[in-house]
Amino acid sequence: MIEPGQFTYRRIHRASRELLFDCMTQPERLAHFWGPAGTTTPVGGITVDLRPGGAFEMVMVNYTDGSQHTMRAVYVEVRRPERLVWTEPGVEGGMITTLTFTDLGDGRTEVVTHQTNVPAMFADPWAREGFETSLSRFDEYVAALTELTANRSD
């Protein structure tokens, strides 16, 4: 049972956990998928200071009207390639996001995204749908990367 203000998402990818961790921590990779559908996140608007206490910031730009939304977070834990934790102290309640990368032993990796202290504005169905489109964009990006790698080795 999930407690109020908590969400958990599970995805399985045909990729190493090292690659998936790198996708979540390298600006040139994050720019390909970060943000909900209808937005872009230019690489110049991404800050990754990959250490506990380091900044993790994104400026997402809406395709339609050019409006910008900035996500500001601070890394709490960085354990490559198995775990990544950040908190968003400016968000009511100090939302915490934990990503866990588990090697399934068959060339696949399970990525579990667990969020706690999720404020009501991020818990409504519209916001959840937007978050899930970002996860889908990540899925598509990783699938394209692994297909490209497979084609190069043929």
Distance between CA 88 and CA 83 in Å, rounded? 17
Q: What angle do CA 61, 91, 128 make, to 5 degrees?
A: 65
Q: Please, which residues bridge with residue 98 across strands?
A: 85, 114
pLDDT in tens, 57-104: 999 999 999 999 999 999 999 999 999 999 998 887 789 999 999 999
Tokens of 109: 């990796």
Question: Could you tell me the domains of the chain?
Answer: 10-35+77-152 (3.30.530.20)
Q: d(Cα 50, Cα 25) in Å, to the nearest integer? A: 7
The pLDDT score that the predictor gives to residue 1 is 40
Q: List the Cα angle 142/137/116 in 5-degree steps.
A: 100
Q: Taking the CB of residue 43, how many other CB atoms lie within 10 A of it?
A: 12
Among 2, 9, 11, residue whose Cα is nearest residue 98: 9
Average pLDDT, rounded, for the chain: 91
Kindly report the pTM of this predicted structure: 0.89
